[in-house]
Structure 1
Amino acid sequence: MIIERDVPISMDDGLVLRADVFRPDSGAHPVIMTLGPYGKGVPYRVGFKPQWDWLISTYPDVLPGSSREYMNWETVDPEIWVPWGYICIRVDSRGAGRSPGYLDVFSPREIKDYYEAIEWAGTQPWSNGKVGLSGISYYAITQWLVASLQPPHLTAMIPWEGAADCYRDIARHGGIQSNAFFEAWYPRQVVSVQHGNPKAVLDPWMNEIASGPESDLLSDEELKNNRCDPVQDVLARPLDSQWYRSRSADWSKVTVPFLSAASWAGFGLHPRGNFEAFTQAASKQKWLECHPGRHEEWFYLNEPMAMQKRFFDHFLKGVDNGWDREAPVLLHLRRPFTDKFELRKEPSWPLPNTKWTRIYLEANQSSSPLLAWEKPSKSSSLSYMAMEESLTFTSPPLEHDTEITGPLAAKLFASSSTEDMDLFVTFQAFSPENREVDFQGTVDPHTPLAQGWLRASHRKLDTSKSLPYRPYHSHDEVLPLDPGRVYELDVEIWPTNILLPKGYRLALQISGKDFERPLPPDKPNEAWISRGSGPFLHTLPADRPNEVFGGWTTIFTGAESPSFLMLPIIQA
């Protein structure tokens, strides 16, 4: 394997990005590329030590044949892919790692740089002219964005757990600012290796600082002035706008073949993008794969690695391995309380044998709130303090084994004592012994079955894009509430999968704040890790002042206000 460090790639404005290239020692080969801000000189085992330690302790034999010494966070392992006949290229994005410039994550300038880098890679003498993209999270988001620019040498891509709509997937869920992720992620994973940051870790492969060279080191003030502030950028833009659109995929222009790999339990960031890509992108050759597990886990396991290789061998090498005849949808099915996940292949998404089924909310005053298969004939209502309490509606035990796979939606009739309200909706299931069915999520080890959000003043629907099972809100104007008036609200709930045995019960929690279970007594310093919503919280007082969002919320059910949950029940 030939390794070239800090290879210069000139951009159209004269700025030079730096890349590391891993390639076979002879011949022309296809390229697998990433471009992003995490630092090509930051070893996985150093920069992301807790995740690394978990991976290799859980899977001691992961990536057989590799020393795992050349790995970066969320990117392919060159010791695996180069022997398979691929060139692996990692590019430090503008303003990050060894590349100078203004750091502006997901910006049009960064994506234009990606276009330039792809075209550079596709025209090098060691390249066969076919460039593939593969990577997790940030390295998946930017795949959707650069594919919208249609670089000629981009041939195929695998966006693994990648958000696609900057407003709806990342910044503002249902119009509510998702601040905690940016507040935690940006300083820890991006600013820490900003170009010129003297506190960055050592690049052991070059024996220099990963954010260098040392001649480019900057003061704290200079660093701050040379980067964006995503929390404030989002706070200043409560409505969808060109700023968000320029950082989101244009599905009409995404035409490249792709394999969209979605996590079943990544609520708050990625999976919506993977599902929307499969249903909305213009690509004629596209596949959807759905898997469980932690964010950094499934990408490196043997079965998913074989799938990635088969996909790229077909599109980047022209191997006739049957991939073009592979089923469009590959689902790893979840059952309660097991770590076994069987693969099932399907022809489309949502699944063709989906029976869209309403289960109605019943605000019973004399007993616990209910979920009922028949619409209640009488009107009823229940109220809760939005910032302090929640309501949970629970079904009777299921009479049959039941599969729920697909997107969900809730139609809620609600009022507020103030001029606005935020709705946090969580879909759950419980065993006959009242044990909650949860799963290891991308971050949180106890993720519920599905989540959705809506700010009531953002209730306006885009009727051209809305579906009965996937409402689409325009987020283009604020419509304040009249206190006490009942409004009909449609809440998008992100897709899920679960196969429940007979006797289990369904539940829907409605609250005015993030879903969180009580803090485990054995993890007093890890509140977000195991409480249910991971780091994807909505707690910024500037976006959610208590005097507006801390009032009384009332949910109305039955008769003229038939609140319900739309379920994708799969018929045998």
Structure 2
Amino acid sequence: MFPWRVGVPRDQTSGLEKWEAPDPAEWIPRGYAVVNIDARGSFKSDGDIHVYGTQEGRDGYDSIEWIAQQSWCNTKVTMAGNSWLSTTQWFIAAEQPPHLCCMAPWEGLGDYYRESICRGGIPDHAFWDVLMAWYCGPNQREDVGAMVDKYGLWNDYWEDKKPKLRNISVPMYATASYSTGLHTEGSVRGFQLSRSAEKWLRWTTTQEWHDIYQRENIDDLQKFLDKYMRGIDNGWEKTPRIRQSMLGYNRPSVVNQPASIYPPADFHYHTLFLDAGTKTLNKSKPTSSSSATYHAESRTDDGVAFVHKFEQYTELCGISKATLYMSTDDHDDMDVYVVIRKLDKDGRALWHQNIPMKDLPESTTPEQIPNENVWRYIGPNGRLRASHREVTQESLDGLSQEEYHKLMGPAYVYHPHTSRQPVSRGEVVKLEISLWPGGIVFDAGESMSLEVKGRLPILPEFEGLGDKVVNHNVGRHTLHTGPGHESQFFVSLREGQ
């Protein structure tokens, strides 16, 4: 499924490591014990398998407190790992186990409903159906796919699968990447919204499984752990709070640029207006009304694209927002997808290679790179079901709205998903769609393309998954621009080198 071990040579790990976890053969000589826990209901563990939520958090609490009492433990316990092993950290740390002294969530989603299985209010459990089929245990397992089909609106079940980030206060070393269809927003929310006073975020330019086993990253993690687990005065606190990276696609990426806030202070938000008549994104508003239509249920219709050419070197960083005025004559709902593409100077759409060519077999060519999201990153994307278009303020304990907006930025949109507002046929409705955090470098003469379409705009995570994704759309969608329907794109840019 994942050829060439995603660029991690076989002799770079021992085989003792669990999936997406630190390698005991690497960490025991560094002075650490590694405990890999079979979660409730998995393999020979008692009980039923739970998918995230309070139960996993409490089980993690119990595990940490048991570990702290063992004779080989100095009473200090941490957590580390990718994906599920990162996601569960949000829930476990929120339970505040007394002997958890720090955490290293290296890419993990947070709000399971909003960030994955029903992102934008659109049920999408294809990935989770495949993943859950791999799970094994003696008893039962939650059927999250059946749950989202039956309970498509927000309720207490989904609330339980949203981590209480404001309960997290331990030191944190988090990572985030763009090359995932699962974790980017959760990584940013966990870092930004936790109460931890001592926390660091490193943006990566490679895929998470490749990143976790690189020697320089292992050494970096040890420096963090030595500081908090062993009390070593090693200067870790001088590490930049944020190390920002942005993808170059067809040029070198910007890597580990120091910053104190996200996005960095020298980025500024710009409003670009969509013009359906010229298919462009412009700083000036179009003077006449126009529209563009695409076939939303088609597997081959690529929707409509709006292009903005950069006259000088420009970097994009942060969460973006598309405000679109949409209608349909064919149904009472629309599932709308948006994505930012980088175009070269000849207008060709590019993709970023998530595994460096230097780490692949010598004879590998770009054409041999699998056509999947693990390997090829398209761009920042967002989605929204029109009947879920209501917008509200997210309320978090001990955080004012002013502080919240400072942390999440002016482009972040929070939908309650608590009720359905059908669209009348022909009615033009306003859709506010946040795009996941992006980081892209544009040279002068290159362009940014905002694509709007009726199907998933990124590649499937792995082979065969694309055929399992359901398109719920019916008929055609029309996007309106110009006076009265000022569709626009709100994006954070830094212009000039």
TM-score of the two chains, using structure 2 as the length reference:
0.88
Match of 2:475? 551
Q: Quote the sequence identity (%).
A: 27
Equivalent of 1:323, from 226, 236, 255?
236
Higher relative contact order (CA 8 A, sep 6+): 2
The structure 1 segments of at least 4 consecutive aligned residues displaced by more than 6 Å after TM superposition are none
Q: Which amino acid aligns with 2:163?
A: A
Distance 1:494-1:342 versus aligned 2 partners, 3 A rule: same
1:54 aligns with 2:11: no
The alignment partner of 1:461 has SS state of: coil
Match of 1:240? 154
Q: CA RMSD in A?
A: 2.2
Q: Which amino acid aligns with 2:447?
A: R
Equivalent of 2:69, from 99, 123, 147?
123
The alignment partner of 2:434 has SS state of: strand
In 1, Cα distance between the equivalents of 2:429 and 2:291?
A: 13
Q: Which amino acid aligns with 1:329?
A: I
Q: Which amino acid aligns with 1:131?
A: V
Contact kept? 1:178, 1:536, Cα under 8 Å = no
In 1, Cα distance between the equivalents of 2:476 and 2:275?
A: 19
Q: Which consecutive unaligned segments of at least 5 residues does structure 1 have?
A: 1-49, 197-222, 518-526
Q: Which amino acid aligns with 1:449?
A: G
In 2, Cα distance between the equivalents of 1:502 and 1:118?
A: 52
Contact kept? 1:413, 1:486, Cα under 8 Å = yes
Match of 1:495? 437
Equivalent of 1:78, from 24, 27, 37?
24
In 2, Cα distance between the equivalents of 1:305 and 1:52?
A: 23
Match of 2:296? 386
Q: Which amino acid aligns with 1:470?
A: Y
Distance 1:538-1:381 versus aligned 2 partners, 3 A rule: farther
Match of 1:347? 260
In 1, Cα distance between the equivalents of 2:265 and 2:254?
A: 21
Q: What number of residue pairs does the alignment pair up? A: 464
1:473 aligns with 2:422: no
In 2, Cα distance between the equivalents of 1:413 and 1:369?
A: 15
Contact kept? 2:245, 2:253, Cα under 8 Å = no
1:308 aligns with 2:308: no
Match of 1:371? 281
Match of 2:489? 565
The alignment partner of 2:80 has SS state of: strand
Which has the higher Rg, Structure 1 or Structure 2? 1
Equivalent of 1:263, from 158, 177, 190?
177
Distance 1:435-1:236 versus aligned 2 partners, 3 A rule: same
In 2, Cα distance between the equivalents of 1:440 and 1:244?
A: 34
In 2, Cα distance between the equivalents of 1:399 and 1:136?
A: 39
In 2, Cα distance between the equivalents of 1:305 and 1:551?
A: 50
The alignment partner of 2:341 has SS state of: strand
Superposed counterparts of 1:194-209, under 5 Å: 194-196=136-138
Distance 1:325-1:535 versus aligned 2 partners, 3 A rule: farther
TM-score of the two chains, using structure 1 as the length reference:
0.77
Q: Which amino acid aligns with 1:261?
A: T
Superposed counterparts of 1:20-419, under 5 Å: 50-51=1-2, 53-55=4-6, 58-60=7-9, 63=12, 68-188=14-134, 190=135, 194-196=136-138, 226-267=140-181, 269-338=182-251, 342-364=255-277, 369-388=279-298, 389-417=301-329, 418-419=331-332
Q: Which consecutive unaligned segments of at least 5 residues does structure 2 have?
A: 355-371, 396-404
The alignment partner of 1:342 has SS state of: strand
Contact kept? 1:514, 1:537, Cα under 8 Å = no
CA offsets, 1:195-226, max 9 Å, x none?
A: 24xxxxxxxxxxxxxxxxxxxxxxxxxx5xx2
In 1, Cα distance between the equivalents of 2:294 and 2:495?
A: 36
In 2, Cα distance between the equivalents of 1:62 and 1:157?
A: 27
Contact kept? 1:445, 1:529, Cα under 8 Å = no
In 1, Cα distance between the equivalents of 2:175 and 2:3?
A: 21
In 1, Cα distance between the equivalents of 2:173 and 2:137?
A: 32
